[in-house]
Amino acid sequence: QVQLKESGPGLVQPSQTLSLTCTVAGFSLTSYNVHWVRQPPGKGLEWMGVIWNTGGTRYNSALKSRLSISKDTSKSQVFLKMNSLQTEDTATYYCARDSTYSSFDYWGQGVMVTVSS
Amino acid sequence: DIQMTQSPSSLSVSLGDNVTFTCEASENIYGFLAWYQQKLGKAPKLLIYGATNLEDGVPTRFSGSGSWTNYSLTISSLEPEDIATYYCQNNHVYPYTFGAGTKLELK
């Protein structure tokens, strides 16, 4: 059964670094790409970046200077790190699997991150 | 970046209605278009991929159409569980941009 689950701190102080983990089950990270998407409260979805099955990455240019995505294939985990957090980074963060036509067929439940002092 | 423009932003509907809403890409995305349904507090759910292909398990009252830059999602005979926000997404070129969403509300 395919599953993705995000984990990480619910509260981060401004200017600090956010670290999130997406733990997957039911598929291999060597076969599928995994994306990160975020959604500020009451707003729409923003694609953040992807780590390909090969280990390569691509980021949203608006976040590129602050964002890093990596993975540990043996642990079935994908990691997101974003530095210099500001209040506008408050959002629910999702990881999602890339499938046919590059659509996102499975999503995690999301993790809410609040940036506040 | 490819801009995805959804319209309308909200739609007041009645159960049993046939509903269509649209998504326009700022350039040709060659049918690499997905539709997602999102209910309050939940993750998005894939409905349609490749503009016209129904995801497994999605009711057949959902259908997608379109090509080049213009796409649409139709819900035939709206059910109560269809009240949600719907997003389109460009899956052709990075960044995989989303539209701003169409929110369905009951009259």
Q: What is the pLDDT of residues B14-50, one digit of tens each?
A: 999 999 999 999 999 999 999 999 999 999 999 999 9
Contact A98, A106 (CB under 8 A): no
Q: What is the pLDDT of residues A42-99, one digit of tens each?
A: 999 999 999 999 999 999 999 988 999 999 999 999 999 999 999 999 999 999 999 9
Nearest neighbour of B95 by CB, restricted to A60, A101, A108:
A60
Nearest neighbour of A44 by CB, restricted to B53, B91, B101:
B101
Interface probe for A, chosen from B37, B91, B97, B102 (most Cβ of A below 10 Å), is B91
Cβ neighbours of residue A38 closer than 8 Å, sequence gap 6 or more:
A45, A46, A48, A89, A91, A92, A93, A94
- How far apart (Å, rounded) are the C-alpha atoms in residues B45 and B47? 6
Report, in angstroms and rounded to the nearest whole number, the Rg of chain B calculated over CA atoms. 13
- Residues in B closer than 8 angstroms to A60, CB to CB, are 95
Q: What is the pLDDT of residues B47-98, one digit of tens each?
A: 999 999 999 999 999 999 999 999 999 999 999 999 999 999 999 999 999 9
